[in-house]
Structure 1
């Protein structure tokens, strides 16, 4: 898989939340929006609803690892935001990877 660029600015998160398409499961929410660049951009959000700092950091690590192990067929030119939910810190990255793949397939990001 080609590398991705991190989304860090609040206004970019807000733009993707408002204009992007969302896919929801008990473990993860995925927002997808086509960008005008030829790069894959990814951001992760964990709210305080997820739990304390340890759980939020674990959620981010699990999401990052699940994304890293995704198949190589991910198309460039998309902005992706993954929002952790209460179940996320309790999951393994392999389980989350399956959920993520399902979201990205329905979004048309995976060929």
Structure 2
């Protein structure tokens, strides 16, 4: 039997080896429902979304990751176009609606000074 080739992370994904360096040297903001890590500001844009078993069973973890991905996607146009972002779902995320997650993510991004203020509210008003 031939073994399957080892797949490398695609563009925009963070390889497993970079996680520890981002955790150690990156910046962190903690919210009620999620934790945001930002590191390697000179690297191309990359995103990782994590939900541990503390969040719940597989269905709840996948829903939490979908919510975080969608919240990040909606803020993508206002973010710095480089760096590595790690979004970690916390146990309190279950039962939370998408607008609440997006609002909390925006607060964390603003706290780390990662959102461009000139674009943040001008585009929403239109």
TM-score range, shorter chain: 0.7 to 0.9
TM-score (norm 2): 0.77
Indicate the larger mover: 41-50 or 84-93.
84-93
Residue 49 of structure 2 aligns to a residue in which SS? strand
Which protein is bigger by CA-based radius of gyration? 2
Q: Give the 5 Å matches for 1:30-49.
A: 30-37=36-43, 39-49=44-54
Shift, 1:89, TM fit: 2.8
For structure 2, which runs of at least 5 residues remain unmatched after alignment?
1-10, 117-126
**Separation in structure 1 between the aligned mates of residue 25 and residue 89 of structure 2, nearest angstrom:** 19
Q: Is the 8 A contact 1:75 1:109 kept in 2?
A: yes
Give the structure 2 partner of residue 99 of structure 1. Answer: 104
Give the structure 2 partner of residue 27 of structure 1. Answer: 33
TM-score (norm 1): 0.86
Q: Is the 8 A contact 2:22 2:40 kept in 1?
A: no
For structure 1, which runs of at least 5 residues remain unmatched after alignment?
none
Q: Relative to total residues, which structure has the larger helix share, 1 or 2? A: 2
**Separation in structure 1 between the aligned mates of residue 45 and residue 94 of structure 2, nearest angstrom:** 25
Query: How many equivalent residue pairs?
Result: 106
Shift, 1:71, TM fit: 5.7
Shift, 1:76, TM fit: 1.3
Shift, 1:87, TM fit: 1.7
1:67 aligns to 2:72 (yes or no): yes
